[in-house]
Amino acid sequence: MKFFYQSRTKQGEEKKGVIEADSKKTALETLEKYGFYVTLLKEEEKKRLKKNINIKIPFLKDVPQKEIVAFTRQLSVMLRSAIPPLQALKAMSSQMKNHKFQEILERMTKSIEMGSPLSQAFGLYPNVFNQFFVSMIKSGEATGKVSESLLYLADHLEEDYNFNQKVMGAMIYPAFILFALVAAFFLAIFFILPKMKEILESFSGKLPLATKVILGLADFVMGGGWLIVVFFIALIAILPVILKKNKKAKIIYDKVILEVPILGKFFAKVYLVRFTENLSVLISAGLPINQALNITHDIVGNTVYKKIIKEISDRVAKGEKISTVALEYPRNIPPFVVQMISTGEETGKIDETLMDAVRFYRQEIERTADNLTTIIEPVMIMVVGVAIAIFAIAIFIPLFRIGMGGMDG
Residue 343 has a pLDDT of 94
Please state, in angstroms and rounded to a whole number, the distance separating the CA atoms of residues 399 and 395.
7
Please state, in angstroms and rounded to a whole number, the distance separating the CA atoms of residues 374 and 389.
23
Residue 246 inside a domain? The answer is yes
Residue 202 inside a domain? The answer is yes
SS3 content of the chain, % helix, strand, coil (to 5): 75, 5, 20
Residue 366 inside a domain? The answer is yes
Which structural domain range is residue 42 located in?
1-49
Residue 145 inside a domain? The answer is no
Residues 6+ apart with CB under 8 A from 49: none
Higher pLDDT, 23 or 121: 121
Identify which of 165, 174, 191 has the alpha carbon closest to the alpha carbon of residue 375.
174
Residue 263 inside a domain? The answer is yes
Most confident among 130-144, 181-195, 330-344, 352-366 (mean pLDDT): 330-344
Per-residue pLDDT at 266 exceeds 50: yes
Domain count, the chain: 2
Residue 134 inside a domain? The answer is no
Residue 341 has a pLDDT of 93
Confidence of residue 251 (pLDDT cuts 50, 70, 90): confident
Give the CATH number, domain containing residue 11. 3.10.20
Residue 64 inside a domain? The answer is no
Please state, in angstroms and rounded to a whole number, the distance separating the CA atoms of residues 115 and 125.
17
Cβ contact 139:122 at 8 Å:
no
Tell me, yes or no, whether 240 and 374 share the same domain.
yes
> Hey, is 224 helix, strand or coil?
helix
Confidence of residue 59 (pLDDT cuts 50, 70, 90): very low
Give the CATH number, domain containing residue 356. 1.20.81.30
Residues 6+ apart with CB under 8 A from 322: 289, 293, 312, 316, 341, 345, 350
Please give the backbone phi and psi of residue 245, each rounded to the nearest 5 degrees, phi first: -80, -25
Handedness of CA 92, 93, 94, 98 (dihedral sign): positive
Residue 85 inside a domain? The answer is no
Identify which of 22, 62, 26, 54 has the alpha carbon closest to the alpha carbon of residue 244.
22
Q: What is the mean pLDDT of residues 339-352?
A: 92
